[in-house]
Amino acid sequence: MEKPAKLALHGGTPVRTKPMPTDRLGVTLYGEEELKELADVIASKTPFRHYGPHPSDKPQKAAKVEAMTRELLGTKYTLAVSSGSAALSCVMAALDVGPGDEVIIPAFGWYSDYNSVIAAGALPVFASIDDTLNMDPADFERKITPRTKAVIVIHYQGGQARLEEIVTIARRNNVIVVEDCAQSFGGSYRGKRLGTYGDIAIASFQFNKMISCGEGGLVYTDSETYFAKAVRCHDLGDMRPYFLEQLQDKSLGDPSLAFPGNQYRLSELQAAVLVAQLGKLDGVLDVCRGYYGQLERAFAGLHFRIRPVEEGHCGITCFVQFASADEARTFAKALRAEGIASGPTSACKNLMEMPMVKLKKTPYRDMPPYGGEHGEHDPVDRDAEATSKRTDEMLARYMAIPIGPQYTQEEIDDIITAVKKVDTLLYDKVNSTT
């Protein structure tokens, strides 16, 4: 490649003058397939998953989503719900998490993981992240107490956490493993789909996710007991015949086991879109992984986000690590000047610094863990300063380049050219003027 004269950041000509394509994922592939599935629901006038206007109506889309995901994931039970957040709430109910319990979550994540624990009346305990940008197994182990009931492992932006280490620690300490696959649905770890390595998992089908129906989520597990309680949580505490038929232990459907649940059901309209989107998931993964591999080979001299296993990541974001936060910020700024998208590709954040966490807000007055009988513990103050600092320091040294299924080889070539240009010239004395 011919050496460029000057960085665009310093007045040179940018590598790319056209806007980059959107880095949204499954939603960018909407087309005739989604319209056809939606048309079925509109024509039959059956937007509710369990019945329609006539006694003979038997809506099928949500049930088909569950059947397709069982086959895709190789898991015994799947439950389609209204959002990823709803799925997490169902998981808390399934695990019987409540006041007096602790649930360990990554300090870096999304509100829903924290919120679901708080809404159950339990105590969220934060663990810092490592160079996978996911939970640090060593810090997870340090945070375990006799009250620890579960750990939520987030697979951030398509990259796997150190599952084998985390699960080994959890098993040794009788801690239930929840996998949050909201940003990594379809990925795998040592030959198993993400979400099937632990005890129970969730996925999200929100607008930004691997596949999307606008909102929507999934609970999946091999545990019949967890599944039955999640079903009740998502549908007012009830157990409809459709779900009872899936249970080997019919006693789990006994009315005496009912409890106040919610209305987290997935509509047939959402499910129709998901039926079509599920057929496109492997295509999204193939494209993004292929482009990621090109970038990784082209930038062999740069330090990439650590992958605990070689295969199975989703390939949707290329994270490059720098020696300092200043270098990461400067590199990202220079890339943007060259017309290449760079920077955070997710709204995830250090939750420990969020006002609602620091102020210890809960939905109800005197609700545990901050009030009432079990309110004597404090997740914010337990090793808070060190955990938050480690998390921020790790995040600050990374720069992200998004990848989407709408990218073409032209965009990938431009990314490669721009990164090499910036890497060559950013600290060149000739072009280092501001």
CATH number for the domain that contains residue 155 = 3.40.640.10
Lowest mean pLDDT among 137-151, 264-278, 362-376: 362-376
Task: Kindly state the tokens that stand for 113.
Answer: 């993981």
Number of domains in the chain: 1
Over range 11-22, report the average pLDDT. 93
Over range 152-173, report the average pLDDT. 97
pLDDT of 427 strictly over 70: no
pLDDT (0 to 100) of residue 376: 57
Task: Kindly state the tokens that stand for 381.
Answer: 């103050």
pLDDT (0 to 100) of residue 364: 80
pLDDT (0 to 100) of residue 300: 86
Residue type present at position 153: V
Query: For all residues of the chain together, what is the average pLDDT?
Result: 92
What is the spatial distance between Cα 137 and Cα 170, in angstroms, rounded to a whole number? Answer: 10
* Residues 137/370/112/200 CA torsion (nearest 10 deg): 50
pLDDT (0 to 100) of residue 432: 46
pLDDT (0 to 100) of residue 127: 95
pLDDT (0 to 100) of residue 103: 97
CB-based contact 84:204 (threshold 8 Å): yes
What is the spatial distance between Cα 135 and Cα 108, in angstroms, rounded to a whole number? Answer: 8
Over range 10-16, report the average pLDDT. 92
CB-based contact 424:3 (threshold 8 Å): yes
Reported as a single tens digit per residue, the pLDDT across 213-241 is: 999 999 999 999 999 999 999 999 999 99
Reported as a single tens digit per residue, the pLDDT across 379-424 is: 555 678 888 899 999 999 999 999 999 999 999 999 999 999 999 8
Over range 266-280, report the average pLDDT. 98
pLDDT (0 to 100) of residue 428: 58
pLDDT of 425 strictly over 80: yes
pLDDT of 142 strictly over 60: yes
Q: What are phi and psi of 415, to 5 degrees?
A: -60, -45
pLDDT of 281 strictly over 60: yes
CB-based contact 207:24 (threshold 8 Å): yes
Over range 103-121, report the average pLDDT. 95
Lowest mean pLDDT among 7-11, 284-288, 345-349: 345-349
CB-based contact 161:305 (threshold 8 Å): no
Reported as a single tens digit per residue, the pLDDT across 331-356 is: 999 999 999 999 766 789 999 999 98
pLDDT of 431 strictly over 50: no
Domain that includes residue 257, residue range:
1-434
pLDDT band (50, 70, 90) for residue 1: very low
Three-state SS sequence of the chain? CCCCCCCHHHCCCCCCCCCCCCCCCHHHHCCHHHHHHHHHHHHHCCCCCCCCCCCCCCCCHHHHHHHHHHHHHCCCEEEEECCHHHHHHHHHHHCCCCCCCEEEEECEECHHHHHHHHHCCCEEEEECECCCCCECHHHHHHHCCCCEEEEEEECHHHCCCCHHHHHHHHHHCCCEEEEECCCCCCCEECCEECCCCCCEEEEECECCCCCCEEECEEEEECCHHHHHHHHHHHECCCCCHHHHCCCCCHHHHCHHHCCCCCECECCHHHHHHHHHHHCCHHHHHHHHHHHHHHHHHHCCCCEECCCCCCCCCCCCEEEEECCCHHHHHHHHHHHHHCCCCCCCCCCCEEHHHCHHHHCCCCCCCCCCCCCCCCCCCCCCCCCHHHHHHHHHHHHHCEEEEECCCCCCHHHHHHHHHHHHHHHHHCCCHHHCCC
β-pairing verdict for 217-221 and 317-321 = unpaired
- Which of 273, 250, 228, 236 is CA-nearest to residue 41? 273
% of residues, the chain, pLDDT over 90: 84
β-pairing verdict for 102-106 and 123-127 = parallel
CB-based contact 214:69 (threshold 8 Å): no
Over range 243-260, report the average pLDDT. 96
Task: Kindly state the tokens that stand for 318.
Answer: 């290329």
pLDDT of 5 strictly over 90: no
Residue type present at position 335: L
Cα-based distances in Å from 255 to 96, 237, 250, 251: 18, 9, 11, 9
- What predicted TM-score, i.e. pTM, was given to this entire model? 0.94
Task: Kindly state the tokens that stand for 85.
Answer: 């957040």
Reported as a single tens digit per residue, the pLDDT across 60-104 is: 999 999 999 999 999 999 999 999 999 999 999 999 999 999 999
User: Does 425 or 34 have the greater pLDDT score?
Assistant: 34
pLDDT of 434 strictly over 50: no
β-pairing verdict for 217-221 and 77-81 = antiparallel
